[in-house]
A and B are shown apart, each in its own frame.
Chain A
Amino acid sequence: MSNFFYCENLVGGYGGENILNDCSVSVNKGEISVIVGPNGAGKSTAMKAMLGMLKLNQGKVFLDGKDISNFSPQDRVASGISFVPQTMNIFNELTVRENLEMGAYLREDDLDETFEEMYSLFPILCEKKEQMAGELSGGQRQQVAVGRALMTKPNVLMLDEPTAGVSPVVMDELFDKIIDIKKTGVAIIIVEQNAKQALNIADFGYVLVAGKNKFTGKGSELLNDAEVRKAFLGG
Chain B
Amino acid sequence: MIEKYRTQLAFLVMALLLIIVGVAQSWSVSIGIFNLCIVSAIMAMGVNLQWGYAGLFNAGVMGFTALGGLVAVLISHQPIYEAWSIAGTGMLISLFIVIVASISIFYISKYVNSVFKKRFLIVFVILLAAIGLGNFYGPSVDLIEDINPAKTGFLGGLGMPIIFSWVAAAFAAAFLAWIIGTVTLGLRSDYLAIATLGISEIVIAVLKHEEWLSRGVKNVTGLPRPVPYEIRLQESEWFINFIEWLNSSKLSAIETVSSKQDLLNKLVIEGSSIYVKLCYAGLFIIVLAVLFFLSQLALNSPWGRMLRAIRDNEVAASAMGKNIVGQHLQVFILGSAIIGIAGAMLTTLDGQFTPGTYQPLRFTFIIWVMVIVGGSGNNLGSIFGGFFIWFMWIEAEPISIAFISLVTSGLDYGDPIKMHLIASAPHMRLFIMGAILLITLRFMPRGVIPEKVVRPR
The answer to A–B direct touch (Cβ < 8 A) is no
Residues in A lying within 8 Å of B, measured CB to CB:
none
